[in-house]
């Protein structure tokens, strides 16, 4: 029941704490005969890792993955793929200040209550470092999804929001700015805002928007495992996510049916796409698009009132480096989770052939 | 893989088409020895059924559930609970007009493409009538969740929105108005708006907000099966849902960490509750609250351009009764799905004792 | 966790007690577009039902299945197939004598200890009547397995055993004798022995042997879900089963490697088939064959010493009709469970295409 | 669907090929707060590893496990436990002779047909070396099963069989002889027979018998996940296993009900134990006992006729060291799999409290 596996056919199980010797994972159900581009996997990991630019945390993590099984002579064998990402720099740093202190809006308190015993160093299992394993699996999934394009970018930071419809953005610019925003002008504003937030010792949230192009018709398993329900769960499982909407989303709830319905053209495509590429839980061949809301990182460089495990009130303040805005680094994680859902549902769809 | 089961321990499997002889379900994993109030189950079904008021569809469905197993001498036995809800009024009505026509923003097109062969009468399996089985299971779940209160209400219809914080609403008024809105004044506005929409032959979307009080600390299974991820999937699996947010939600992404963090009080409770009762995917004992966005019903009494299965362009127009706003009837479904998640995670938590 | 589902892709969930209003099941994951022969399903149910011949119980069960979903215009739709088998003759018979008495070698005692509350009438959920639902699902599975032949027969009753290798038996004779033994001469002996046992008010065990012909190469999911491991679990889940062996089985453990190894011929077939059609957990295209051991039915017409729920020693004696040898009726159940495993693994194998 | 996971709550996923850099596994669902004795884990691995005595293979494997997560300050944290067992001596040995040759009664042929692409070195994933990961997990499971005693021993080798009932054997002698047989006199015969078989370049099969003492009443999840059905699957998933029987087993099928039934004593225990500690799929508090049949190892030092991947007939002969009888080394594997089933079902049983 412990929820460390994701997927039905293409199933990822992750393990590892932020300050243990290594993180890792096992992918069971990867089809055999897939030629893997290991450099691509490393490049995806580089996109997620800390210390890439001036607007994310300066903490260094030399992320590199080592595979132990399931790959032979450069190709997958259909047997489980086991991998590790070593935590190279886990020094015997002093964590005594958080050992018994429950950081506000962190998982310390609930892990203690639920499990009784936890690795408190750097958040342990609840650290977003766990998502490195997801990016590895996602990078493999992407290689199976040939032809299906998954592109995420930062569409808002704080109150700064991209107003342009995604179809008018040039996704090839995303990696050109440290915010990973597809609208270069807004990206500049965002970057400068994040720098200011950093100076304040504060953090800020934002949204990641994702578009999936060329998804075949027919993916999704109603009534409970609708494609968007699984995408939603995938996104909500990422650290710091507070909301998910697809297609017309929350704004769609304000519309009338006559405004919202997507008329069919004679080629089976729809004139509008308020449905967001999914009808009745099944992909209809149009672009799938969705937004994911991230709260601001909880660790701030400001003094905060909190309690320790004996319910004593204490003051605490983050030390060292902090991550003023996690959203740019969340872009590859959103893509990875989308890729995991898609490859899983694409495989499920083989059952109908 | 076919996705007609929900839950890990308390597992509901549903079956049935809107115009077949019956819908039904099986609940496996219900604990033994639970004394069931069958009248309560019926009353929950009455809240969902069509024809309750002037602002929902006038179609009559004499919903009543019949149990076949798993209950003996009024109490659950721990063996699977099988039940049927007969479709009493399925007349040999003429469905030939939709047999080969893909209604806009309905699942007709994708079901045809995915399965090749479908029961086209009234939407078949994709009809929201399937949620009747969820309400039955949810009504059983609620009886196990003694002390945990799950309350949903309609918080917006079109552009009309309740502005008051939920803590200042009187939930006991929800069933007093046909909209099921906890703010009587806004309810009146909503009702009148829905009546106008009905006259136009149109439909409108809205939001359902749900609050879970007295949830114990510790529910949720990171890293993938976080409590809010499972709640999100549960809600997104309901027909017509386009978005899910919990706690601070999408608005939370605009905030700074210093604004968003929930400080602990000495009793382990938090001063604010932007976290929405869940931290790191685990309930922290505060109220859990979330919003669910519903698109407008696709069936409108207006002429629409669409195609048939041979890709010929055709015009179609809904006939007979229509449901101008499904959101009031979605309230018990949202509660039912929340109850299913909670009872499942409450049972999982027994594994840690 | 409650174990009332079987299968991964083609998944059967059963429900129902022997003396409740009905038994039933749901099949999720049945491929769409399968034309179903409902008469065949009924005929399979007739093979299992009591009262067919002089050597099984004379209890009458008018078994007939009613389908509620998943089938439209004679073909499966890919949506879940829900069905009921009504328990027509459940009279308000007096069960007070077993209400509080734990029948020897029955499940009364353990159900009481595990669940606390149980339907004690006629064994309730632990009754072999539950297997009627398996036969329904198996009869559907068989229709999907076109070309794959699954044939079971009674190969031993008590000490009376068929000595001939299965390849020399004429399977078309199986239904010609009430024992369902493919060796007509041995069948006569068995029948006469069972009649004697019946007169004694006693019961006797036996073995069912099953052969699967024309199974394609490649079914089985190592390392845990090997084809024979799943077949073994399937068989061991049938009431009264005490053992499972495939290929050379227990006798194979006495052999040397040089005797046991199956040499390959140039066509990829093997000269001998000690492997039983499965190597490393994967079918190799040769016949799959296995034996299933059934203990004697526990209900005997003789006085037995036992205890009641207060641990008082009591005497009890079976009343009315009894089943001297369940093995002939187990034949269609063994076939049904084999068919469920095969159709499930055949579907899984589509994932590798 | 790929079958590399075992268990429902306490779930082991294994990965790794015999000649890759490492084998390993992840245990998800291990309860938190368990103090682990790592030396015990190593000692269990020593029991399984090759080269322990003169009657098993002399191949050396320096098995040692390294844990990466889920354990903190000597205790489990409830988060997944990831581990590796490095394959230290995988030299760049020449495997070209088996690359394209299908060894008789090995999995080479079926892996090639199923997956298309495989690691052919030393059997790859189909090698029994995979069971090392099971022994690690089993050794953790045993530490959770305090008070429940699982003891396996070799009860037959070829035609040589222990005739004494297990209750009269002294299990403390098992590790005193290289065969791991609890009957010292028979052990001597077995050892001498295995030495002769080794000289012949041949191999021989045998049986492992296992007894579980002090199992609490109530474990098992009917109707499909009966305790013995899961034990059976667990055993049948071990390399080379051909059969499983529990309690009276195959011999029980020869008996009459009046001989087979286990009468209750006034303390709820039964006078006899033909049921093998399980009634209706649920443990009844008596000893659970079962037998597992192993075929002879397929690799023999004799010339054999076989084919290559182009269907050419070829001769092949095993080289180097061989394992004349794998049964002694299977003893800890049988125990490990039994421990995995028991801990899983013990955890499931918490759901009923």
**What pLDDT, on the 0 to 100 scale, is given for residue D60?**
65
**What pLDDT, on the 0 to 100 scale, is given for residue A255?**
98
Alpha-carbon distances, residue D67 vs A297, D18, D19, D134 (angstroms): 30, 19, 20, 14
- In whole angstroms, give the CA distance from residue A341 to residue A335: 10
User: Which sequence spans correspond to the domains of chain B?
Assistant: 5-352
Structure tokens at D193: 């027979």
Structure tokens at D94: 């020449």
- Positive or negative, the Cα torsion across D93, D97, D100, D102? negative
**What pLDDT, on the 0 to 100 scale, is given for residue D92?**
58
- In whole angstroms, give the CA distance from residue A168 to residue A170: 7
- In whole angstroms, give the CA distance from residue C227 to residue C277: 10
| Residues of B with Cβ-Cβ distance to C24 under 8 angstroms | 68-69, 82
Q: How confident is the model at residue B108 (pLDDT cuts 50, 70, 90)?
A: very high
Is the link from the previous residue into A249 a cis peptide, with omega within 30 of 0? no
Residues in chain B: 353
| Residues of B with Cβ-Cβ distance to A125 under 8 angstroms | 222-223
**What pLDDT, on the 0 to 100 scale, is given for residue C56?**
72
Pairing of strands C278-279, C241-246: unpaired
Instruction: Give me chain D's average pLDDT, please.
Output: 94
| Residues of A with Cβ-Cβ distance to D132 under 8 angstroms | none
Q: Does C82 contact chain B (CB < 8 Å)?
A: yes
Please list, in sequence order, all residues whose beta carbon lies within 8 angstroms of the beta carbon of residue C251, skipping any fewer than 6 positions away: none
Residue position matching structure tokens 């700074």: B256
Q: Does A119 contact chain D (CB < 8 Å)?
A: yes
- Nearest Cα of chain C lies from the Cα of D221 at a distance, in angstroms, of 5
**Across the interface, do C232 and D233 touch by the CB < 8 Å criterion?**
yes
- In whole angstroms, give the CA distance from residue B220 to residue A310: 23
**Across the interface, do C236 and D222 touch by the CB < 8 Å criterion?**
no
**What pLDDT, on the 0 to 100 scale, is given for residue D63?**
79
- Among residues D187, D131, D206, the alpha carbon closest in space to that of C257 is found at D206
| Residues of A with Cβ-Cβ distance to D15 under 8 angstroms | 26, 28, 68-70, 79-82
- In whole angstroms, give the CA distance from residue C28 to residue C9: 8
| Each residue's pLDDT tens digit, A12-39 | 999 999 999 999 999 999 999 999 999 9
Q: Does A29 contact chain B (CB < 8 Å)?
A: no
**What pLDDT, on the 0 to 100 scale, is given for residue C103?**
94
pLDDT at B313 over 70: yes
| Residues of C with Cβ-Cβ distance to A1 under 8 angstroms | 1
- In whole angstroms, give the CA distance from residue B213 to residue B280: 19
Q: Does D353 contact chain B (CB < 8 Å)?
A: yes
Nearest to A31 among C32, C78, C352 (CB): C352
pLDDT at D133 over 80: yes
- Nearest Cα of chain C lies from the Cα of D218 at a distance, in angstroms, of 5
- In whole angstroms, give the CA distance from residue A119 to residue A105: 17
**Across the interface, do B352 and D78 touch by the CB < 8 Å criterion?**
yes
Q: Which of B79, B281, B352 would best serve as a mutation to test chain D binding (most D beta carbons within 10 A)? A: B352
Q: How confident is the model at residue D212 (pLDDT cuts 50, 70, 90)?
A: very high
**Across the interface, do B22 and C114 touch by the CB < 8 Å criterion?**
no
pLDDT at B61 over 80: no
**What pLDDT, on the 0 to 100 scale, is given for residue C59?**
67
- Among residues D142, D153, D134, the alpha carbon closest in space to that of D342 is found at D142
| Residues of D with Cβ-Cβ distance to C242 under 8 angstroms | 245-250, 252-253, 276
**What pLDDT, on the 0 to 100 scale, is given for residue C2?**
86
- In B, minimum Cα distance to C13 occurs at B26
Segment (H or E) for C132: helix C131-144
Count how many pairs of residues, chain C against chain D, have C-beta atoms within 8 Å. Answer: 356
- Nearest Cα of chain A lies from the Cα of B303 at a distance, in angstroms, of 9
Lowest mean pLDDT among A3-7, B247-251, C280-284, D100-104: D100-104
pLDDT at A92 over 80: no
Distance of CA B264 to the CA centre of its chain: 33
| Each residue's pLDDT tens digit, C291-328 | 999 999 999 999 998 999 999 999 988 777 789 999 99
| Residues of C with Cβ-Cβ distance to A351 under 8 angstroms | 9, 29, 31, 347, 350-351
**What pLDDT, on the 0 to 100 scale, is given for residue D122?**
86
Give the pLDDT means over successive 10-residue stretches in chain C (353 positions): 93 97 98 97 92 73 89 97 88 72 95 94 93 98 96 98 97 97 98 96 98 98 98 98 98 98 96 98 98 96 91 85 92 98 98 92
pLDDT at A351 over 80: yes
Nearest to C28 among B4, B16, B73 (CB): B4
- In whole angstroms, give the CA distance from residue D13 to residue C345: 20
**Across the interface, do B252 and A205 touch by the CB < 8 Å criterion?**
yes
**Across the interface, do A77 and D22 touch by the CB < 8 Å criterion?**
no
- Nearest Cα of chain D lies from the Cα of A311 at a distance, in angstroms, of 22
Q: Does C34 contact chain A (CB < 8 Å)?
A: no
Residues paired with residue D14 on neighbouring β-strands, in sequence order: D25
Structure tokens at B70: 């798993």
**What pLDDT, on the 0 to 100 scale, is given for residue B188?**
98
Burial (0-12, 13-18, 19+ Cβ within 10 Å), B259: middle
Please tell me the number of Cα atoms within 13 Å of A241 on its side-chain side: 32
State phi, psi for D76 to the nearest 5 degrees.
-65, 150
Contacts 24+ apart (CB under 8 A), B47-53: B47/B135, B47/B175, B47/B329, B47/B331, B47/B332, B48/B131, B48/B132, B48/B135, B48/B329, B48/B332, B48/B333, B49/B132, B49/B329, B50/B323, B50/B329, B52/B178, B52/B329, B53/B178, B53/B328
Q: How confident is the model at residue B80 (pLDDT cuts 50, 70, 90)?
A: very high
- ipTM entry: 0.97
- In whole angstroms, give the CA distance from residue C28 to residue C24: 13
**What pLDDT, on the 0 to 100 scale, is given for residue C51?**
76
**Across the interface, do A253 and B232 touch by the CB < 8 Å criterion?**
no
Please list, in sequence order, all residues whose beta carbon lies within 8 angstroms of the beta carbon of residue B153, skipping any fewer than 6 positions away: B169, B171, B174, B180, B181, B182, B208, B209, B331
pLDDT at A131 over 70: yes
pLDDT at D295 over 80: yes
Alpha-carbon distances, residue C252 vs C224, C260, D22, D23 (angstroms): 22, 7, 33, 30
Alpha-carbon distances, residue C210 vs C152, C153, C233, C335, D251 (angstroms): 4, 7, 15, 7, 19
Average pLDDT over residues A114-126: 92
**Across the interface, do B305 and A255 touch by the CB < 8 Å criterion?**
no
State phi, psi for A61 to the nearest 5 degrees.
-130, 115
Per 3-state DSSP, chain A is made up of helix, strand and coil in percentages (nearest 5) of 35, 25, 45
Q: Does C352 contact chain A (CB < 8 Å)?
A: yes
**Across the interface, do C353 and A351 touch by the CB < 8 Å criterion?**
no
Q: Does D138 contact chain C (CB < 8 Å)?
A: no
Residue C120 sits at the vertex; the CA angle it makes with C114 and C126, to the nearest 5 degrees, is 65
Q: How confident is the model at residue D59 (pLDDT cuts 50, 70, 90)?
A: low
Its pTM stands at 0.97
Residue-wise DSSP of A31-76 = PTTPBP-HHHHHHHHHHHSTTSSTTS--------EEE-SSEETTEE
pLDDT at D228 over 80: yes
Average pLDDT over residues D291-305: 95
- Nearest Cα of chain B lies from the Cα of D344 at a distance, in angstroms, of 11
pLDDT at A138 over 80: yes
| Each residue's pLDDT tens digit, C158-209 | 999 999 999 999 999 999 999 999 999 999 999 999 999 999 999 999 999 9
**What pLDDT, on the 0 to 100 scale, is given for residue C89?**
64
Counting residues of chain D whose pLDDT is more than 70, the rounded percentage is 97
Please list, in sequence order, all residues whose beta carbon lies within 8 angstroms of the beta carbon of residue C63, skipping any fewer than 6 positions away: C45, C46, C48, C49, C85, C132
Distance of CA D305 to the CA centre of its chain: 30
- Find residues 200-219 of chain B whose CB sits inside 8 Å of chain A: 200, 202-207, 217-218
- Nearest Cα of chain D lies from the Cα of C170 at a distance, in angstroms, of 24
Q: Does B34 contact chain D (CB < 8 Å)?
A: no
- In D, minimum Cα distance to B33 occurs at D352
| Residues of C with Cβ-Cβ distance to D284 under 8 angstroms | 109-110
**3-class secondary structure, B307:** strand
| Each residue's pLDDT tens digit, B145-184 | 989 999 999 999 999 999 999 999 999 999 999 999 999 9
pLDDT at B122 over 90: no
Helices A327-349, A38-48: axis angle to 10 degrees equals 140
**Across the interface, do B261 and A348 touch by the CB < 8 Å criterion?**
no
Is the link from the previous residue into A297 a cis peptide, with omega within 30 of 0? no
| Residues of D with Cβ-Cβ distance to A9 under 8 angstroms | 1-2
What CATH number has the domain spanning D5-352? 3.60.150.10
**Across the interface, do A104 and B5 touch by the CB < 8 Å criterion?**
no
Q: Which of A236, A314, A349 would best serve as a mutation to test chain B binding (most B beta carbons within 10 A)? A: A236
**What pLDDT, on the 0 to 100 scale, is given for residue B293?**
98
Residue position matching structure tokens 């997620």: A48
Counting residues of chain A whose pLDDT is more than 90, the rounded percentage is 87
- Nearest Cα of chain B lies from the Cα of D142 at a distance, in angstroms, of 18
| Each residue's pLDDT tens digit, B14-47 | 999 999 999 999 999 999 999 999 999 999 999 9
**3-class secondary structure, C174:** helix
**3-class secondary structure, A157:** strand
- In whole angstroms, give the CA distance from residue C184 to residue B262: 80
- Among residues C226, C183, C208, C181, the alpha carbon closest in space to that of C289 is found at C208
Q: Does A352 contact chain C (CB < 8 Å)?
A: yes
| Each residue's pLDDT tens digit, B236-251 | 999 999 999 999 999 9
């Amino acid at each position: 029941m412990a929820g460390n596996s994701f997927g039905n056919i293409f199933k990822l199980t992750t393990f590892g704490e932020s300050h243990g010797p290594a993180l890792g994972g096992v992918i069971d159900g990867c089809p055999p005969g897939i030629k893997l581009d290991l450099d691509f996997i490393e490049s995806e990991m580089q996109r997620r890792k800390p210390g890439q630019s001036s607007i994310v945390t300066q903490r260094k993590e030399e992320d590199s993955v080592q595979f132990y099984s399931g790959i032979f002579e450069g190709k997958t064998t259909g047997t489980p793929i086991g991998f590790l990402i070593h935590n190279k720099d886990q020094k015997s740093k002093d964590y005594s200040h958080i050992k018994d202190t429950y950081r506000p809006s962190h998982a310390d308190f609930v892990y203690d209550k639920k499990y009784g015993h936890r690795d408190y160093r750097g958040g342990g299992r609840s650290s977003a470092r766990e998502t490195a394993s997801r990016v590895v699996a996602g990078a493999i999934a992407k290689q199976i999804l040939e032809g299906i394009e998954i592109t995420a970018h930062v569409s808002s930071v704080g109150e700064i929001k991209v107003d342009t419809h995604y179809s008018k953005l040039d996704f090839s610019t995303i990696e050109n700015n440290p915010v990973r925003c597809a609208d270069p002008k807004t990206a500049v504003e965002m970057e400068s805002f994040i720098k200011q937030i950093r100076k304040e010792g504060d953090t800020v949230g934002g949204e990641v928007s994702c578009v999936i192009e060329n998804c075949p018709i027919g993916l999704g398993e109603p009534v409970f495992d609708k494609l968007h329900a699984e995408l939603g769960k995938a996104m909500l499982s990422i650290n710091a996510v507070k909301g998910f909407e697809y297609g017309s989303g929350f704004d769609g709830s304000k519309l009338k049916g006559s405004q919202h319905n997507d008329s069919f053209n004679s080629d089976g495509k729809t004139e509008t796409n308020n449905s967001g590429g999914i009808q009745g839980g099944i992909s209809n061949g149009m672009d799938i698009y969705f937004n994911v809301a991230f709260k601001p990182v909880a660790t701030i460089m400001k003094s905060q009132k909190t309690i320790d495990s004996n319910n004593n009130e204490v003051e605490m303040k983050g030390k060292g480096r902090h991550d003023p805005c996690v959203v740019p680094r969340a872009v590859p994680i959103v893509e990875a989770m989308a890729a995991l859902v898609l490859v899983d549902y694409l495989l499920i769809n083989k059952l109908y052939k």
